[in-house]
Structure 1
Amino acid sequence: MSAEAEIYKYKDSRGGIHFTDKPMKGNYRLLWRSGKKQSRKGRFSMKKFRQNKAEVSPFIDDVAKQLHLHPGLLHAIVRVESAYDPKAVSHKGAQGLMQLMPATAKRYGVENSYDPQQNLRGGATYLKDLLRMFEYDIKLALAAYNAGENAVLKYGKQIPPYPETQQYVKKVLNEFERNRLAMLN
């Protein structure tokens, strides 16, 4: 008996592209089912996903070590933000593995957001700054990474009541937990 697998693509309100194995309410579309491509545009390839992940994982691990961040957290963000695609672009203009907006990229010295090393360093440094800003509250730092630090401040250092941001925080934390458990094996 073979198991059936499905990959869904979701475009959030900020234009971020997310991939999941479970259909959810909102703008989700089935991309892949048990080896059959379902999408005409933006085809998702599990082979390409694995290849990209293998290529960028050493960079993720190096940046995490240099910035004293858990590598599982950076992997979780990259998976949720871009599915390890260094060329990912949102319709809002976020770019690369960690989906940096051009202003954020510039702020963190990223000249080429499609360069995995530059993007990871810029995104991870931004995350580290957010963790400091929100007193190492990972949920608030993730909410700020998604919605912007001003949104978190506007709501009194709470996760903003935006469904996309609330879902984003849950997805990244779930992926982070999965990564941490995988590292134990």
Structure 2
Amino acid sequence: MRLKLFSLLNLPLLAMLLTALHASPARADIWAYIDGQGVTHFSSLQLDERYELFSRGGESFTTGKTAGSQAQGLAATPPRLRAYFELSPGYKAVRHLLREASDKHGIDYELLQALIATESGFNAQAVSPKGAVGLMQLIPPTAARYGVKSDKTAQAEQKLTDPRTNIRAGSSYLNYLIKLFPGEIELAIAAYNAGEGAVQRAGNRIPNYPETKNYVKTVMQLYNQLKPAGTGRGTSVSSVNSGRVRMEMMGGASGRANLPGALAASASFALPEAAARLD
């Protein structure tokens, strides 16, 4: 299942979140730029001169900060990242479905959140060049294993654009993979991207596919920030180096590093009560 670019936020919301995220240390620096199609690309590295700093990562323990202050910085990151997702209409429309799937399978809500953000950017109509469909980017043969098949009422591909159907099948598949590779959440995520056979053929290791390696890093980076270690994870995870994240945000000038600047270091962020990727 390939990663794609999809719309989550408009530029004004991005500007607000830039200010909020800049005010709090994160697990890794994130860079971003808007391309000629209005797509905002995120990366853990400044890949070229177009990228501007989106958020600054927490300082190393060797910089003179105490362990206590570092821990406080890391603890402050997840609420702001969650706030980032809360501003996505696609995400808000399916939160209850993620909760249902989390409760049914015992999968961390935040893991589902990170995986869907990576797979489709919460675009229920997403279709990949390889025919993966919907929020969790399922191909029809995989979906058929969980009861989503073409019939007289609709083709499987059409059924998979329904968020409830897609999340039910996708979370069931993820649950199967987590049980297939117990205690190895990275392998389950790799299998979701490349197939369980690819992981098994690699000797129960992450296959040596650049896309899959980057996919696992991206999902784990988001998951680690949404639910840091020590906060009651439902699955066993280990730290994975940050990877490239790309999402789409329509608006703004294009073709250059043009993200809002002059971010106030002392700014604070709170959501209104009414509101809260990789090729």
Category of TM-score, reference length = shorter chain? 0.7 to 0.9
Counterpart for residue 162 of structure 1: 209
Q: CA deviation at 1:15?
A: 4.4
Q: CA deviation at 1:16?
A: 3.2
Counterparts of 1:62 and 1:18, CA distance in 2: 26
Q: CA deviation at 1:175?
A: 0.6
C-alpha distance after superposition, 1:145-175 (max 9, x if no partner): 0000010011110000001000000100011
Please state if 1:90 is matched with 2:128: yes
Counterparts of 2:3 and 2:128, CA distance in 1: 5
Q: CA deviation at 1:31?
A: 4.7
Which amino acid in 2 is paired with 1:54? K
Counterparts of 2:211 and 2:4, CA distance in 1: 12
Instruction: Write out aligned runs for 1:91-170 (5 A).
Output: 91-110=129-148, 111=156, 112-170=159-217
Counterparts of 1:150 and 1:138, CA distance in 2: 16
Kept in 2: contact 1:89–1:96 (CA 8 A): yes
Counterpart for residue 55 of structure 1: 93
Counterparts of 2:174 and 2:2, CA distance in 1: 20
* TM-score, L = length of structure 2: 0.51
Counterparts of 2:167 and 2:31, CA distance in 1: 27
Kept in 1: contact 2:3–2:215 (CA 8 A): no
1:171 to 208, 218, 222: 218
Task: Specify which structure has the higher proportion of strand.
Answer: 1
- RMSD over equivalenced CA pairs, Å: 2.5
- Select the structure with the greater relative contact order (CA < 8 A; seq sep ≥ 6): 2
Counterparts of 2:168 and 2:178, CA distance in 1: 15
Unaligned runs of 5+ in 1: 1-13, 24-29, 33-37
Q: CA deviation at 1:144?
A: 0.3
Runs of 4+ in 1 over 4 A off after TM superposition: 18-21
2:108 to 67, 70, 89: 70
Unaligned runs of 5+ in 2: 9-29, 41-83, 149-155, 232-279
Kept in 1: contact 2:190–2:216 (CA 8 A): yes
Q: CA deviation at 1:62?
A: 1.3
SS at match of 2:143: helix
Which amino acid in 1 is paired with 2:147? G
Q: CA deviation at 1:86?
A: 0.5
* TM-score, L = length of structure 1: 0.75
Counterpart for residue 252 of structure 2: none
Counterparts of 2:180 and 2:92, CA distance in 1: 32
Please state if 1:17 is matched with 2:4: yes
Kept in 2: contact 1:16–1:94 (CA 8 A): no
Kept in 1: contact 2:134–2:163 (CA 8 A): yes
Counterparts of 2:135 and 2:210, CA distance in 1: 23
Counterparts of 2:116 and 2:34, CA distance in 1: 19
Counterpart for residue 39 of structure 1: 37
Which amino acid in 2 is paired with 1:138? I
Label 1:143 to 1:18 Cα distance change in 2 as closer, same or farther (>3 A).
farther
Identity rate, percent: 37
Which amino acid in 2 is paired with 1:68? G
Question: Higher Cα Rg: structure 1 or 2?
Answer: 2
SS at match of 1:159: coil
Kept in 2: contact 1:77–1:172 (CA 8 A): yes
